[in-house]
Each structure stands twice: as structure tokens, then as C-alpha cells.
A and B are shown apart, each in its own frame.
Chain A
Amino acid sequence: MKFTLNWLGDHLDTNCSLNEICEGLIKLGHEVESVSDPRQNLSNFKIVEIKDVKPHPEADRLQVCTVDENGNLLQIICGAPNARIGLKTVLAPVGTYVPGIDIVIKKSIIRGQESNGMLCAFSELALDGDSDGIIELAEDAVIGTPYIEYAQLNDPIIEIAITPNRGDCLGVRGIARDLSAANIGKLRPLDTTECKGVFKSPINWHLAKDCEAIVPRVTGRYFRNVSNRNCPAWMAKRLIAVGQRPISALVDITNYIMIDLGRPLHAFDADKISGDTLFIRRAEDKEKIVALNDKEYACTPDMLVIGDEDGADDIAGIMGGQRTGINDSTNNLFLEIAVFDPISVATTGRSLNIHSEARYRFERGLDGESPDLLSGYIARFVQQICGGEISYEVSVGKGVDWKRNITFNPESTKKMTGIELPNVEQTNILKNLGFIVRQKQNDSWDVMPPAWRNDVDGQADLVEEIIRIAGYDKLPMVPLPKTSVVAQPAYSNEQLRPIYLRRMLVAAGLTEAITFSFMAQSDALLFDGGGDALKVVNPISSELDCMRPSIIPNLLQALSRNMNRGVKNICLFEIGPVFKGTKETDQMLSCTGVLSGDYHIGDWQNNARAVDVFDAKKIMEQICEVLSISQQSLQIKVPGPDWFHPGQSGTMMLGKADIGSFGMLHPEILDNFDVKVPVAAFDCNVSAVPLSRKKTVARTLLKLSAFQPVERDFAFLLDQNVTAASLLKAVKVAAKNHISDVGIFDIYKGAEIADGKKSIAVKVQLTPDNATFTEVELQKISDDIVKSVENQCSATLRS
């Protein structure tokens, strides 16, 4: 909502400064978005007359001017072609800041001639206007007066944000009324006396029965022989200042009244109305209206329209139609002042997707009395500007039922806000805001809000009104009572998991990304997602039209972007939501990462090592550790999902639960994301991992062997398809109580190994618990190991 300070002055009698008014607006809840005050930059510019012009002796394009600045003659060098004797123009005296060129004028010597100021073009004042030469003012401009006074530019423009509940402040008068309640001036009276009219309106209303509930009140008047030329200059200036383009007097008046009084009007060209009746009714199905914005709209029967014998031509409360609209040759006017049901207007506006100033005000609720109360004022206003004769008023509708009583207990102000205010003060505040307060027998009051405050409907609203005027700075500071001596943890065990995972992964050298939860459906389809239920109906782009089934695509895009910037070794992860469906339980927390380039970066001493499946596996294992899953309880199912390399990936199973996958990504997938290098990935479904049931923080007792461990190495010859995991398992079960560590230290497929076979060498560490192993014991353990592996893995011990 934009208005000027002078405009506000029409309604508000105040001595307060611009600054005080702005402060007042903020305290009332009207956020000041901008204030532009031409007085700040332009107050020094003065009107002068050029008394003499001589050519500059040293420069062809310059002239030496002598100007009269209120009796004081100054020499000024000027390059404008239109500088001439007798011209009244605008001077920037020495010391003036010139906003259009961002410099301060100094006394100077220009090619040997003294210059004591600058004669200005509009552009130098940062104003619109012909800037080919210096400003040319009319003969009657008075020498020595400030230019902003002469040009009436001394009117600051204020823009405030009006919250959706305050439809009553979508007019300058409403803002003035709010300010006056806060004692920032007095509201000037508005002449709302009746205007009788001199003839019977040739046009009448007809309100359809089924529309009575959504059309509480409509008044109208016929204006005969009006002249629709330009609106007066003062009105044009104000409209321009608030961003409206003047069109013609009648159109401008409807705009002006809408901004001035917050009261949208609709003007019909009466001569274009067929017949003598305007029907207020529901639209026919697919009934077409070409609106004032030149667009054609197809209405539906739930929409309220106004029309004549030839059909509808006004979408009620939203936008008028072209067929019956005003133009420059309009002679006879029919003016509508209405209150429609806000929900009806909002619904229609939303379905037709029309955003108009009228709709904005109708759907926020209008003053229920305004069609009758302002009818006379508006009629006189039209006549003053456009002349003509005014008809009697014609109206329909039972009237707006705005009167209601709210039971209010003044104690509730303190109860809700902590602010203690005497009852008298609370009553006064409400009265100043136009509320009617009646004390009841008991301690509570009956409070009736004024007709323009249809947002107020409960005790809490009244409390807000009272403290809004009393001032939020009166709110006391009361700390919340302590719930426990030492603060309890804010995170649950489940919520702590991403916190821990994040720190582990960053410490492991992966950088955290946060990416959008939606992606292109085509990408989602590659990762078992992309179902229509998860499609965004109104995406901002087709690249972001589907809820993601996996974070891998987002990370691959990020990887590709970074590679294009020349980064080679990239390790990224994200912990965030993925979606299987729209249900609450379909949202899963995923901890996902991609690795590419060299995992170990080469240097002058060591060779680089490119990422491989075991880097991803290692991180999955670390994730499992953070999630308190023991390695023994995990099983690896191969291969991983389709988007992984079929021979270099796996899925980690915790019992029957798939808790995540790891491996190299499938080359076709990489291709799809324009990634040219191998990428390892891990993708843990954190939500699938049950919470660990930590019973106690105390650890189990640590038992340490006092005896030295011994190591034994074995090399087995196995079939190519026997997994390392089954070998290790066979080793471990053979001597569960003694084996403290098993590791693979060599895998060999050389000349002496038959085709389809491989040799795996394991190192077993054996730790005794009671006494050092005897040779016999060691031999027995070794034999058991060999036997176990031979039996379970069809292996033979290599000699």
C-alpha cells in the first residue's frame, strides 16, 4: 500500500514528522517497506532566471551565463543549447549534491571562466522529463523559491505492507484512522451526508434469489452528461506517485477512491448497457467475459457475475468487462458500490487466476456500511470532477450483518501478555479504535467491533488491539520456568543419528551437501522412483517435478558441476529425506555419498590410488558402526541395486532388512548424468536400521589376556566363485575361543594356479587365555582351521 504524506494529511490532522509517522505505523503493525522523500535530495535546488548569455571565449560549446538568484547575480558556465536570456530554470548552488550524476557542486574555473553552480536538466535531478537541455520553467515561476515547492515534489511517498487481516487499511483513510487511534494526529471528518439526486436512475438492479447470501449489499447511481476528460493535475500527481497511470477522469476516480477510501468501485458506461436492468447472478456454465485486461474468461456456475440482457460483463468484485466499460467518449455513467462475500470473491479469483486491486480488497473484507455510507460522498466527488447530474440511489441486498458482540474479560490482557493495563485505559483504546464497549454485570464486557473491522472475532483479537496501541515495548521479559536443573538433551536417540553420522563422514574426508528433495521424474525413474503419486503438480521446472527416491542423482549432478569447474577428487555426502510414497512412513532418512577421482592423492613419494568399491564399503561399515550395528550381524547380498555395477556392488542386510548398498555405479547411470569417470557410492537407509537398545552406559568388564598372541599363516586353494567372506567364516568357526583376529594378506592367481581357482592367504592371530599355547595345542588349532575350510569351502591347503 503506497500513499504520500500530503494525501495522508487529507484525512489526518497531525503535527508529527514523517519519521514519527513511520515509527507510529511500525508500532501499529504496518511494516514500512520504503520511504522516498524528495525533500532529502532536492531541497537545495532553486529557481533562477538567466539574465545574460555570452559565448565562452575558450570553448565553442559552452556559454557564460549570468543568472539572477533572488537579486543575487551569479556567473555560471553552461553547456546546454537551450540556455537563453529570460529562461527560468533550476540552479544547483555551490555545495549541492546532484543525485542524477552523484556529485557535489563546487565553485570552479572552467577553461579560465569562473562557475558558481550548475543549471540542471531533469535527469540531473533524477526526475523523469525531457533532458535534452536544462529545465524550462513557466513564466510565472518565482525566482528564489525551492524547485520542489514549485513542482510540488515535496511530498514523500510511503509504502507499507498491510497484513492480510487488515483490509480496512487498504485505503489512506483507514491508515489515518489507525494512526489517530494511536494519538498520532486526529482523523479529519468526511462528509458522508446523503446525496439526494435529481432524477430516477434509468438502470436498476436485479439480485438473483440464490445469490442473496453472497451479495449482502449493492448500491448504484446513474450520472448523466458527465465529461470524461483528463483528471485534475493534483489527482494525476498522486496516482503517479503511488504507481497508477492516469487514464481518464472516470477511471481515475474509481482508482483514486479505491486507494483513498479503500473502497473499490465499478463504473459501467450506461449507454452500453442493454435494457434497464443489471442482473447480479451466478454465471452460466462456460459463460464468457472479455475483461478489462483484454483477456477472455470462461466462468462457471459458482461464480458471481453482473450483466445485462446481452449477458454477463462484470466478474463481481474482481474485474469489469470490456463491452460495458468506460471510455473517453462516455457520457452517462452507472457506478456500482458493492459488498460481496469475501470467500466467493476469493474462490472465483483463484479459479480464474485474476489478481486485481479490487479482488485484493474484496477478499480481505470491506466496511459493511460503505455502500450506503459513502454513496453520497462519492457521488459529489464524481460530480465535482466530471460535472453532470446525479440520479437517486438504487440498491439491493439486505445489508451486511456486521454487528456482533464479543465477550471480553479485561483480565485476559494480563493473562495473555503479562502487560498490566488499567481497565479505563483498555476501554479508551478500544473506543478510540471505533469499538463499542459495554460493561456487563459481572467483570466481563460486551465489545462490538466497528463495521470496518471484520477481522476481529474473539477475545485474543481484542487483546492484540489493546497491546498494539499500548505498545509491544510494554511486554515484560519473563524467562520460561526451568523444567530441570540441568537441561535435558534436546535430541532423541533417533535424532542424534544424523548428527553423529555427519561428523563421522566429514572427519572421513567427505564434504556435506544439501540438495533439493525433488528432481526430474526421468532421473527418479532410474532409481526405482518416479511414481505419479510423487509428482509435483506445479513444479517450478520439469527438472524438479518429482520427489526423490534416492539422493544419488542429486549428488551425481553436483559431482558433474564440480568436475566442470576443474575439481578432480570429489567426496560428497548428504543426509536427508527420500520418498517411497506420500504416506508419513514413506519418508526415509537416507545417508548417501559419492566418491570419485583419487581416494589417496598421489604426491612426490606415493602413487595415487583411485576410488574403488572398498572405499564405499569401508564408509558403509563406518556408518554401521555409528548406528551400533555389529559387523557380525551384517550379511552382504550381491549385487547391489540396478544402478550399481553388477560385479562391484553389494547390499548390506541386517537380518531381513536392507539397510543400504555400496559399490561402483553403473556406467550407464554415470553416462546419464554426464559423468565421465568411475564413481563409488554408498547409500544407507538410516530409517531401516532399528534403534540400538542401549541398556546402560556402563561398559562390560574388560578381560585382558596376560599371554602373548601367536600368528599362523595359511594359504588355501579355492574355486574362483568361493567368497572371501565364506572362507573367513570357516576359519573363525574352527577356533572361536582362540582367534582374536583374522586377515587376508594375499590373493593370488598365478601360473601355478589352475584355471577357475584362486589362492587366498590368511593370517590368523591366536590369543590364549589361561596359559601359553603348547606346540600340540597350536597344531590342533591349525588342523581344525584347515579341516573347517576344506569342508566348508571345498578348499585345499597349499603347501
Chain B
Amino acid sequence: MADIDHLREKFLKDIKAARDLAYLNEVKVAALGKKGAVSAELSKLGQMNSDERKEAGQLINSIKQELISALSERQIVLARQALQEKLNTEKIDVSLPSRPSVQAKMHPISRTMEEISAIFSDMGFVIAEGPEIETDENNFTALNIPPEHPARQEHDTFYLQPDEYGERPVLRTHTSPVQIRTMRSTSPPIRIIVPGRTYRSDHDATHSPMFHQCEGLVIGPNIHMGHLKATLIDFCRTFFGLDELPVRFRPSYFPFTEPSAEVDIGCNRDGGGLKIGAGEDWLEILGSGMVNPRVLENCGYDPATTQGFAFGMGVERLAMLKYGIPDLRTFYDTDLRWLHHYGFMPHDVVGLHTGLV
């Protein structure tokens, strides 16, 4: 019995002394392995009488259990210690730069057109489109701009080669021909906006030969200029995110509307910069009016029973004012520095639910 106590002492001491898992395993084998000390003690039981065997067996087994649990406790400690040492060797300078990537951006025109669409969508408008190479009829004549009309000169039209019938196609000078196309192909009520490319042969600091417009057309029973006013004021205030934005309507002239109104928003030029909102100044932002009865007639509608309003806005101008972009010509330069600065991230969701400012 003294032997076995001695063994117990020895192995507990060895376990405690183990500094790594390999050594601990050796101790385990020496103690509990098939040829280990404890097995050897157990094998001696066969030579004892039953009383001795019972007593010795119990003792050996309890020592065995004690060693097993001491080994496993030590094993956890040493394993953790070993892992810690391994982790220590894996240390990296995490201040090193992560992998390089390029953040791409969406063009501010696309963003602005989506914003316009989101606002008018909420007012029940749908998007209509039309071709950019238009007929003279759709771009001018049907819109009450006959060939000699002085307004034609202000349009600086690009023409294509005449076709076999001598008709000269034009690059649409505004998105208004889609009014004609829509009215000629559908019957009221109509509520559309038409964002798209437009062309005029003008190229200087404030004009680009290609630019974007967004047309609007509402035809329906008893739609009057008061609806026009509310629609456009709501649009301007939502677009700029300013509930109190002053909006002014003043008489103007467009051949395709009568009465016509130009719409200004308030701004402030104090201190050199331009700030949209209440202030001393006004900025012209869109043109509008009641659809001219002649245009309705040209589209086969009866002006005595059908009326509505139309409006048009320059997308670049809206984007410039909202996002503080100073120069029109830069929109088409595809300068990556510019696009990166003024562009938008793909996760910049456009919706009234997320807000537009």
C-alpha cells in the first residue's frame, strides 16, 4: 500500500510539473497506459485474496480517477498555454493598409432624374419616353411652333439630313414632343413626366449641345392652374428638402401653353455663395402653363371639355443648385475626379421613404 501511495504522490507531482502537452502525455502513458504503473498495480490484484483485492482495487481505482482528473485539468491549462504561445507568434501589424479598391460612383444626373421621378411618382405620375431623333411636327408644329415662329430661333435646332420625302429629322430640342406622342396615343386622364436627353446647337459656359430635361403633363377633368401651382410648389419644396422654400409664379410665354408661368425659387446670395431658401433673390427654375388649346386640338382633344397643365425643367440646373455644382460643362467631361466628388454611391437609395436630402 505504501507503494501505491508513493505512486500517487509521484504522478501528481509529475503532472503538476508538466510544462507542455508532450510531457504531460508521457506522464499519462507512464501512469495510465497499458504498461503504465497503475495498470501494473491493477494486475497485481489477481494475486490477492478477495478482501485484500476489494480494498486494494478500490484504492487503486480512486487513485486512477484522481490522476485522470488531474491530467485533464492540467491538459486544459497546458493546451490554453500552447494556443496562447501560437497566437503570440501570429501577430501581424494590423495598421498595414487593407486591400486597395476603387469606390465607383453614379452620375449626379442619374441621381437627380431618379429623385424627380420619386417625387412625381408619389403624386401619381408615371414615366413616359420618346425618341431623341424627332419629326419637325412633334418637336415644333404640333406644339404650336410653326416654321416662321420667332420661338423657333431660340431653339437652336440640330437637323439631320432630309429623308427621301424632304423631311428633316431634328434632334429634339426639348422633351415636349413626348406630350404630343402621349396625347395622340392615349386618352385622358394623363399624368406623366418625361426625363430625357435634349439637344441644342449651343456651346458655351452655360450651354451644352446635349443636356437633360424633365417634362410633365397632366390632363384630366377640371385640372386647372391651381393644381399646377400646388404640384410644382410641392415638387420644389420636396426636391430641395425645404418646407418653407419660397416659390413664385410669374407670367411668361411658351407657344405650347396658355396661360404660361415661369417658376422661381427663393435664394440668398449674401456673402458671394448661393443658398437656396428664403432671401432677397429669385432663381428661375422651371417653365409651365395650361396646355394651349391649339396643342390639344392638334392631338385630337376637344379644348372645350379637356384641359390640363404642362411643365418642363432642366435637370442639370436642378442638380447644380441642389448639389452645389458650379459648372455645366463638367457634367459631360467624364473626369473621374469630378465624378468621384459629385457622384453617388450605389447604396444611396432614392426614395421618399429614405428622404431625398
Contact = CB atoms under 8 A, between A and B. Distances in A.
Interface in A771-790: none
A724 interface: no
Contacts of B148: 342-343, 346-347, 350, 363
B102 A29 contact: no
Given A164-B253, A511-B104, A475 B160 contact: no
Query: SS class of chain B's interface: helix, strand, loop or mixed?
Result: mixed
A3 B7 CA distance: 121
A208 B30 CA distance: 136
Interface string A404-424: 000000000011111100000
Interface in A571-616: 571-572, 576-577, 579, 582, 584, 586-587, 601-606
B332 A516 contact: yes
A573 B62 CA distance: 78
Nearest to B107: A512
Contacts of B285: none
A487 B229 contact: no
A527 to B, nearest CB: 18
B225 A418 contact: yes
B128 to A, nearest CB: 9
Contact of A26 (B199, B223, B250): B250
Given A473-B249, A490-B127, A587-B132, A534 B160 contact: yes
A506 interface: yes
A487 B224 contact: no
Given A468-B251, A605-B99, A164 B160 contact: no
B124 A488 contact: yes
Contact of B229 (A342, A475, A518, A539): A475
A194 B51 CA distance: 158
Contacts of B250: 26-27, 29, 31, 472
A515 interface: yes
Interface stretch (A84-92, A311-319, A326-334, A561-569): A561-569
B337 interface: yes
Interface string B99-124: 11110111101100010011011111
B169 interface: yes
Contacts of A489: 121, 126
A502 B347 CA distance: 11
Contact of A536 (B151, B158, B290): B158
A46 B244 CA distance: 46
Interface string A497-527: 0010011111111111111111000000000
Given A164-B253, A346-B148, A480 B230 contact: yes
A603 to B, nearest CB: 5
Contact of B290 (A460, A503, A513): A460
Contacts of B270: none
B226 interface: yes
B57 interface: no
A517 B211 CA distance: 10
A532 B163 CA distance: 10
A606 B99 contact: yes
Given A417-B225, A512-B106, A533 B160 contact: yes
Given A475-B226, A511-B104, A582 B124 contact: no
Interface residues on A, range: 35 or more
A478 B131 CA distance: 33
Contacts of B292: 460
A495 interface: yes
Contacts of A488: 121, 124, 126
A514 B121 CA distance: 24
Interface residues of B, number: 96
B307 A416 contact: yes
B249 A472 contact: yes
A152 interface: no
A501 B160 CA distance: 31
Interface stretch (B9-17, B40-48, B73-81, B259-267): B259-267
B259 A417 contact: yes
A159 to B, nearest CB: 15
Given A495-B129, A513-B339, A540-B209, A477 B233 contact: yes
Interface in A641-694: none
B107 A27 contact: no
A165 interface: yes
A299 interface: no
Contacts of B84: none
A468 B261 CA distance: 10
B137 interface: no
Contact of B124 (A163, A484, A505, A606): A484
A189 interface: no
Given A503-B346, A601-B100, A544 B334 contact: no
A464 B290 CA distance: 10
A68 B213 CA distance: 63
B125 interface: yes
Contacts of A419: 225-226
Interface in A156-190: 163-166
Given A506-B106, A510-B104, A476 B229 contact: yes
For B148, B149, B163, the residue with the greatest tally of chain A CB atoms inside 10 Å of its CB is: B148
A582 B133 CA distance: 6
Contact of B158 (A29, A503, A512, A539): A539
B340 interface: yes
A558 B338 CA distance: 13
A301 interface: no
B150 A364 contact: yes
A458 B304 CA distance: 12
Interface in B243-277: 249-253, 255, 258-262
Nearest to B345: A506
A346 B209 contact: no
Given A415-B307, A539-B158, 19 more contacts: A31-B262, A346-B148, A347-B147, A418-B227, A458-B293, A460-B293, A475-B249, A477-B226, A487-B121, A488-B126, A489-B126, A490-B127, A509-B101, A512-B107, A516-B209, A533-B160, A555-B334, A571-B104, A572-B334
18 contacts: A164-B255, A360-B150, A417-B224, A418-B227, A459-B293, A460-B293, A461-B258, A475-B225, A478-B224, A478-B230, A480-B227, A492-B127, A495-B129, A502-B106, A511-B105, A577-B197, A601-B102, A604-B96
Pairs A-B, 7 closest by C-beta atoms: A29-B251, A418-B226, A163-B253, A464-B259, A490-B121, A558-B334, A478-B226
